[in-house]
Amino acid sequence: MKLSPIEIGDLERIRRERNNLPAGILRTPYLLTEGMHRRWWESQIDNRDSHTRYWMLQVPAERINQYGTTTEVYWENEPVVGYGGIENIEFESGHAEMSLMIYEDKRGCGYGTEAVRMFLEEAFFEMGLDTVYAEVYECNPNKSFWKKHDHSHHTVLRRRKRLAGKLYDSDVYYWYKEMF
């Protein structure tokens, strides 16, 4: 898998996938319009001074020859399996938050696990950060994904998400550079 920049042409697929998620997964439980998503891209992704680094997650495609064996792996028009990255970056404190979305039809194939590893490598070895965390709401149907990762520390924040009149806790998973 490789990380590639999010381009303006990627926004509609990201927006559609994001708007199809259950509200319990997201911090902002409302649908995004095209204009809102473009403004996010302009202020966060296409802004070199932003404290957000997001990427598309792409996997190589294979060419199969007439004998049914792989002849070549190539990256042109490679399939996109999701997006995510590091946000709320505080360079002065050395910490940031990880965010990840694997497209629904690509879940369960190991792409999320590989993306977590790649994001941590970027954060620790390219950005010079010391701590990365991921916050996952108890009402998130994908919460078990985060539990299986080799994190350095785990804590629970009580009453962190309000959804449909109910308060939910969140799990926060931490990774430390020296333990990665």
One-letter amino acid of 160: R
Q: How far apart are the first and last CA of the chain?
A: 20
DSSP helix/strand/coil, 77: coil
- Stated pTM of the model: 0.88
Predicted pLDDT at 86: 98
**Least confident window among 21-25, 72-76, 104-108, 133-137:** 72-76
Residues paired with 58 in a beta bridge: 2, 80
Predicted pLDDT at 160: 94
One-letter amino acid of 143: K
Mean pLDDT of all residues belonging to the chain:
90
Q: Which letter does DSSP use for residue 91 in this model? A: T
Q: Which of 1-5, 146-150, 167-171 shows the highest mean pLDDT?
A: 167-171
Domains of the chain: 2-130 (3.40.630.30)
Which pLDDT band, with edges at 50, 70 and 90, does 84 fall under? Answer: very high
**Least confident window among 26-35, 103-112, 127-136:** 26-35
Q: Around Cβ 161, how many Cβ atoms within 10 Å?
A: 22
- Of the candidates 136, 99, 134, 124, which has an alpha carbon nearest to the alpha carbon of residue 179? 124
Residues ≥6 apart with Cβ < 8 Å to 122: 3, 53, 85, 86
Predicted pLDDT at 74: 55
For the CA atoms of the chain, what is the radius of gyration? 17
